[in-house]
């Protein structure tokens, strides 16, 4: 079985400009996220950062990516629109996209969702509880309910997103706020998962439970081959003849 090709993309800004963030993420946020993915034999992982030529997505990297993880925050407006378009095209063509934390405001995510994607507010610090909202969803496999994040950044409703498929997680915060912190979308042939926890001031991407959520999401978002015999409409082969006649 061939591996799922995963690219972890990060803007790599806080780590290079703020020593206190570099102390938490010495190999970068992308490095910590990639470290949690490498441990899973289903995945082949590489990293790409905004400060690299072509944001690290050139030379066939984006073309050969099955699932792209995106972390941006401080320098999102500087992402070249050419690559925003390229990511969007790849998602429509079937690439999975996992947008993390403040990437709710990233150009690729917003261009795919079609709304502002803003959270109504934010606050640094304090406990987050991540509640499972879709019990049988593959992204929740093996995930305790709730997940306790001792220190996190609060985002809150209303969350300006549209045409979502499933709310997988809802978080609650110490101030009583709630937020749809794990949400899925489909755009074209591509699956998208937004996952909110992951503020740079806290070591959230080292948490084994958070890593499991991310790995579950990668497996879920990976493109699946088209079925050999495409099915049009509902499968009625098990129905008795005449099932459609209303009595
Ligand atoms: Zn943050």
**Would you say residue 153 has pLDDT above 80?**
yes
Q: How far is ligand 1, taken at its centre, from the CA of residue 207, in Å?
A: 16
Q: How far is ligand 1, taken at its centre, from the CA of residue 200, in Å?
A: 6
Quick count: other Cβ atoms within 10 Å of Cβ 41? Answer: 8
Q: Would you state the structure tokens that stand for residue 1, as one six-digit string?
A: 């079985």
**Would you say residue 88 has pLDDT above 90?**
yes
Q: How far is ligand 1, taken at its centre, from the CA of residue 100, in Å?
A: 10
Q: How far is ligand 1, taken at its centre, from the CA of residue 18, in Å?
A: 14
pLDDT for the residue numbered 247: 53
pLDDT for the residue numbered 8: 98
Please tell me the total number of residues recorded for the chain in this structure: 247
Cβ density class 141-171: b for 16+ within 10 Å, e for less: eebeeebebeebbbbbeebebeeeeeebbbb
Q: Say if residue 234 is exposed, middle or buried (CB neighbours under 10 Å; 0-12, 13-18, 19+).
A: exposed
Q: Write down the pTM of the prediction.
A: 0.91
> pLDDT tens, 63-85?
999 999 999 999 999 999 999 99
Q: How far is ligand 1, taken at its centre, from the CA of residue 52, in Å?
A: 22
Q: How far is ligand 1, taken at its centre, from the CA of residue 55, in Å?
A: 21
Q: How far is ligand 1, taken at its centre, from the CA of residue 44, in Å?
A: 27
φ and ψ at 165, to 5 degrees? -95, -55
Q: What is the 3-state secondary structure (H, E, C) of 19-76?
A: HHHHHHCCCHHHHHHHHHHHCCCCEEEEEEECCCHHHHCCCCCCCCCCEEEEECCCCH
Average pLDDT over residues 165-177: 97
Q: How far is ligand 1, taken at its centre, from the CA of residue 101, in Å?
A: 7
pLDDT class of 225 with cuts at 50, 70, 90: confident
Radius of gyration in angstroms for the set of CA atoms belonging to the chain, rounded to a whole number: 19
Please give the share of the chain, as a percent, with pLDDT higher than 70.
90
Q: How far is ligand 1, taken at its centre, from the CA of residue 191, in Å?
A: 24
pLDDT for the residue numbered 116: 96
- Give the chain's mean pLDDT: 93
pLDDT for the residue numbered 1: 54
Instruction: Identify whether the C-beta of residue 94 lies closer than 8 Å to the C-beta of residue 188.
Output: yes
Cα–Cα distance, 131 to 168 (Å, whole number): 9
pLDDT for the residue numbered 226: 60
pLDDT for the residue numbered 203: 97
Quick count: other Cβ atoms within 10 Å of Cβ 182? Answer: 27
More confident residue, 117 or 245: 117
Please state at what angle helix 28-38 crosses helix 208-221, rounded to 10 degrees. Answer: 80
Q: How far is ligand 1, taken at its centre, from the CA of residue 102, in Å?
A: 6
pLDDT for the residue numbered 169: 98
Q: How far is ligand 1, taken at its centre, from the CA of residue 201, in Å?
A: 8
More confident residue, 244 or 184: 184
pLDDT class of 224 with cuts at 50, 70, 90: confident
> pLDDT tens, 32-49?
999 999 999 999 999 999
Q: How far is ligand 1, taken at its centre, from the CA of residue 48, in Å?
A: 20
> pLDDT tens, 194-215?
999 999 999 999 999 999 999 9
Q: How far is ligand 1, taken at its centre, from the CA of residue 196, in Å?
A: 9
Q: Would you state the structure tokens that stand for residue 238, as one six-digit string?
A: 């098990």
All residues at 6 or more sequence positions from 245 whose CB lies less than 8 Å from its CB, including other chains: none
Q: How far is ligand 1, taken at its centre, from the CA of residue 94, in Å?
A: 28
Average pLDDT over residues 181-192: 96
Average pLDDT over residues 51-62: 98
**Would you say residue 230 has pLDDT above 90?**
no
């Amino acid at each position: 079985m061939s591996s799922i090709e995963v690219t972890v993309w990060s803007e790599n800004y806080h780590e290079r400009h703020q020593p206190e963030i570099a102390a938490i993420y010495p190999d970068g946020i992308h490095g910590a996220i990639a470290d949690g993915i490498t441990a899973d034999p289903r995945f082949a992982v590489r990293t790409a950062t905004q400060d690299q030529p072509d944001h690290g997505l050139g030379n066939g990297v984006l073309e050969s990516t099955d699932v792209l993880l995106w972390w941006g925050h401080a320098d999102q407006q500087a992402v070249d629109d050419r690559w925003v378009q390229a990511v969007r095209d790849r998602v429509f063509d079937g690439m999975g996209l996992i947008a993390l934390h403040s990437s709710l405001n990233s150009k690729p995510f917003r261009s795919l969702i079609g709304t502002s994607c803003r959270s109504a507010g934010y606050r640094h610090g304090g406990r987050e509880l991540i509640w499972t909202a879709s019990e049988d969803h593959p992204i929740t496999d093996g995930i305790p309910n709730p997940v306790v994040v001792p220190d996190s950044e609060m985002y809150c409703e209303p969350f300006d997103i549209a045409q979502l498929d499933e709310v997988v997680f809802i978080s609650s915060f110490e101030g009583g706020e709630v937020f749809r912190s794990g949400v899925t979308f489909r755009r074209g042939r591509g699956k998208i998962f937004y996952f909110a926890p992951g503020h740079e001031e806290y070591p959230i991407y080292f948490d084994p439970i958070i890593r499991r959520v991310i790995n579950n999401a990668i497996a879920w978002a990976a493109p699946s081959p088209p079925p050999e015999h495409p099915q049009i409409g509902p499968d009625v082969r098990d129905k008795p003849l005449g099932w459609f006649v209303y009595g």
